[in-house]
Amino acid sequence: MVRSVALMIALFAWGGPAAAQGTQVAFGGMTQDTSAPVEVTADQLEVNQTDGTALYTGNVVIGQGEMRLAAPRVLVVYAEGQDGGQGRIQRMEATGGVTLVSGEEAAEAERADYDIDAGTVVMTGNVLLTQGGNALTSERMVVNLTSGTAQMAGRVKTVINQDGSGQGQN
């Protein structure tokens, strides 16, 4: 009990400066092999050979290993391949309300940009991260899929449920 109270006091005391500067959180379930195959399903696809993009719209779901990303609209940008042809996926830009799930961790935001080479997902706009019964909110979150960590910035708020059920005690 004393340890829980001390943790809550530390979090609230830490919340002021941390909210302005950013908060590092463990994101262990989000480690990802960025070289794994990427599977995309959607209602519609428009391919632009000129600029090397593919626009997926309507119920878009992207899977890579254990990670799943869902959004109404995802623009896939391909790196230039050999002989000027289309190469591998360089990055993906998901918009319109995005959900990113891996294991028991989930994150929601208005937008997500996945840079496959860097192994990062940048989520912006009303970010909500849930880890079990705990929740964190911010305006921006950068997930490092290699290290399994995330950096949150922009008025960070944390809700920690002490009973582990995901609901507060009465």
- pTM for the predicted model, two decimal places: 0.74
166 vs 117: which has the higher pLDDT? 117
Model confidence at 164, pLDDT cuts 50, 70, 90, reads low
| Residue 128 lies in domain | 2-159
CA distance 75 to 56: 6
User: 166 in a domain, yes or no?
Assistant: no
Beta-bridged to residue 114, according to DSSP, are 92, 121
How large is the average pLDDT for residues 18-39?
60
User: Distance of alpha carbon 136 from its chain centroid, rounded?
Assistant: 12
User: 11 in a domain, yes or no?
Assistant: yes
How large is the average pLDDT for residues 95-100?
96
User: 130 in a domain, yes or no?
Assistant: yes
How large is the average pLDDT for residues 16-26?
47
How large is the average pLDDT for residues 31-42?
78
140 vs 13: which has the higher pLDDT? 140
User: 167 in a domain, yes or no?
Assistant: no
* 6 has pLDDT over 50: no
* 21 has pLDDT over 50: no
Number of domains the chain contains? 1
Cα separations (Å) of 116 from 18, 20, 91? 28, 28, 6
* 88 has pLDDT over 90: no
Average pLDDT over the chain reads 78
User: 168 in a domain, yes or no?
Assistant: no
* 12 has pLDDT over 90: no
pLDDT at 141: 95
CA distance 80 to 142: 26
Range in 10-14, 75-79, 121-125 the model is least confident about: 10-14
- Cβ contact 148:26 at 8 Å: yes
User: 164 in a domain, yes or no?
Assistant: no
User: 165 in a domain, yes or no?
Assistant: no
- Looking up residue 14, the CATH number of its domain turns out to be 2.60.450.10
User: 29 in a domain, yes or no?
Assistant: yes
How large is the average pLDDT for residues 145-163?
85
